Structure 1
Amino acid sequence: MKSMLNGILIVITSLFLMTNVLVSNVLAVKDAGQAARYLRIGVGARALGMGGAFVAVADDASACYWNPAGLVQLKNKEVQAMYSLLSIDRKYNFLNYAQPLKDDRCFGVSVVDFGVGDIRETKSPEDKNIGMFDDQENALIVSYAGNMENGLLLGGNLKYITQSMNPSEGKQSAYGISIDMGMLWKAKPNLTVGLLLQDVGGSLKWNTGHKDC
């Protein structure tokens, strides 16, 4: 009976992961204009080297991004930093700190910096160049996680997101708050199930009255 239950669990987990991959591919096409899209790029050389398949691992400081529940697995304080230059002169940087607490708890804080400068501003329909402007986007992430016993780890992120641009019409700025909720379940010594709900309720409110979801 135990072996049958384990087999059922493996099948359910596999189906969930396959469904998640298919849904993610569909959404990736639709959310290209989503607010704070840079938060989908990913962080950490190890996690990115695994193709982002880190939600069920999340055993270093980058768990603040991939699955905050995994922070409980840290034994010591950790600091991670990443500096990236992307195509079309975009910059993408990440810095975070995580510290284990008493009673199988952990706290972390992260900063994500994304931006691009010298964007050509034109005026339609004649496509006349009327100047250049910059786009700067940042996120401050506070993470907390705890061990609920029986191999169940839970964690969450609170994100404060900002964006600013300076086109010819004047400076435009936006802010927003979103949350992440993560779970890590060590079902067996060689089987771990991870789940992450990212950017729940997230949107950007601009000083112009516009709202990006």
Structure 2
Amino acid sequence: MKYRILLFFLFLTVLINAQAFRNYSNEFLNIGVDAAALGKSKAVVATTNNVNATYWNPAGLVGIEDYQGSLMYASYFAGIANYNHAAFAMPIDKESALGVSVIRFGVDDILNTTQLIDSDGNIDFNRISLFSAADYAFNLAYARNLIFKDVKLGVNAKIVRRTIGDFASSWGFGFDIGLQFERNNWKFGLMARDITTTFNSWAINEEEFEKIRDAIPGQNQELPQSTEITKPKLQLGVARDFKIGRFFNLQTEVDLNVRFARTNDIFSSDAGSIDPAIGLQLDYENIVYLRAGVGNFQYQTEFDGSKSLNTQPNFGVGFNYKGIQVDYALTNIGSVGNALYSNIFSITIDYNLLRP
């Protein structure tokens, strides 16, 4: 219960401090999807080529040959928050493909204690209610081969819906664009997220806001600003495949995640910051997969003012049989509280391999 009370005040703070041109907005869209990708520390922008390319790099959708579907479930913060993803993709013709997906990241059954104390100053636990804070993203992606050899282009349009109980809600929209290029055993990828900036417009429930205003005397006296604009981000990747013996294949990729803001990333300046990610995947004849990766290189300020470099290791396994691929990832979510690791499961179904 104490965690859910703390989460209420956390979301209350987010509501009160919402403002335009935030460096960190719609951060749930940066978590990632697909256990296979997360097991490689999200280093997949150059190699993604199935239904989950709708999220990672829509250019990769050209790689699918038939209907594909994908589901993912992840639990964060010791089960308090749930992260779910579903996607579907299909080829339009030999040169183009279409994909759709939906993401939900939410915390349910949060305790609303703003009315815990009645007008006479008495504590009445019957006045506690429950609410959910949830973020949704709906994506529509299109990809096709360009006239240039081995070059693929993809575009992703997204609608973002965010709700904080009855207190506030927002609608947003934005666009991503991606490129992939392949030559011999080398693969290159570029993903530009929020290229037009992603705009979120909040609607504040003034009746509920009045309850917040009265909950903490002298605080929250003004309505928060009602717009957020997410800055663009870039992901660049280079990958290479290696054949190991007769049965094994090794896929390696290095990505650079670029934000146009000063952050705690390992390379940071006023102009922007760069966070590298390295991913490896070893497979046995595309049946059994072993994955590992490291990313999220961040400087953390200690209590004595010194800084230490933290990283996020990841591990994953997968199994593919007759078009049904089941993946698992164990990922460090940044040393938050006592829940250092999250278990992530996903399943991808390729209808082409299921046909008789």
- Global fold match (TM > 0.5): yes
Match of 1:141? 139
Structure 1 Cα separation of the partners of residues 60 and 202 of structure 2 = 34
Residue 75 of structure 1, aligned match among 65, 72, 89: 65
SS in structure 2 at match of 1:72: helix
Structure 1 Cα separation of the partners of residues 108 and 228 of structure 2 = 21
Structure 2 Cα separation of the partners of residues 189 and 40 of structure 1 = 31
Is 1:112 the counterpart of 2:128? The answer is: no
Structure 2 Cα separation of the partners of residues 103 and 72 of structure 1 = 8
Identical-residue share of aligned pairs (%):
31
Match of 1:51? 41
Structure 1 Cα separation of the partners of residues 22 and 131 of structure 2 = 21
User: What CA deviation, in whole Å up to 9, does each residue of 1:148-193 have, x standing for no partner?
Assistant: 0311100010000001112xxx43110000111000011x211111
* Closer, same or farther: CA 116–32 of 1 in aligned 2, 3 Å: farther
Shift of 1:33: 7.1
Match of 2:198? 202
Q: Which has the larger radius of gyration?
A: 2
Structure 1 Cα separation of the partners of residues 66 and 184 of structure 2 = 22
Shift of 1:133: 3.3
Residue 212 of structure 1, aligned match among 228, 234, 254: 228
SS in structure 1 at match of 2:37: helix
Shift of 1:205: 0.6
User: What CA deviation, in whole Å up to 9, does each residue of 1:88-141 have, x standing for no partner?
Assistant: 500100000000111410000000011002335567xxxx99855320111110
Contact 2:22 2:228 in 1 (8 A): no
Structure 2 Cα separation of the partners of residues 118 and 36 of structure 1 = 21
Match of 1:171? 167
Letter aligned with residue 192 of structure 1: K
- Over 6 Å off, 4+ runs: none
| Structure whose residues are more often strand by fraction | 2
Contact 1:34 1:212 in 2 (8 A): no
Shift of 1:77: 1.3
| Structure whose residues are more often helix by fraction | 1
Structure 2 Cα separation of the partners of residues 33 and 119 of structure 1 = 26
Structure 2 Cα separation of the partners of residues 64 and 205 of structure 1 = 24
Structure 2 Cα separation of the partners of residues 43 and 69 of structure 1 = 16
- For residues 174-193 of structure 1, the aligned pairs below 5 Å read 174-186=170-182, 188-193=183-188
SS in structure 2 at match of 1:207: strand
Contact 1:56 1:194 in 2 (8 A): yes
Number of residues of Structure 1 aligned to a counterpart in Structure 2:
176
Is 1:90 the counterpart of 2:81? The answer is: yes
Letter aligned with residue 74 of structure 2: S
Letter aligned with residue 72 of structure 1: V
SS in structure 2 at match of 1:173: strand
Shift of 1:194: 0.1
Structure 1 Cα separation of the partners of residues 67 and 54 of structure 2 = 13
> Unaligned stretches of 5+ in structure 1?
1-30
Structure 2 Cα separation of the partners of residues 192 and 203 of structure 1 = 32
Structure 1 Cα separation of the partners of residues 51 and 22 of structure 2 = 28
Structure 2 Cα separation of the partners of residues 96 and 135 of structure 1 = 22
SS in structure 2 at match of 1:203: strand
Letter aligned with residue 104 of structure 1: E
Higher RCO by CA contacts (8 Å cutoff, separation 6 or greater): 2
> TM-score, normalized by length of structure 1?
0.75
Letter aligned with residue 36 of structure 1: N
Contact 1:105 1:146 in 2 (8 A): yes
Contact 1:203 1:211 in 2 (8 A): yes
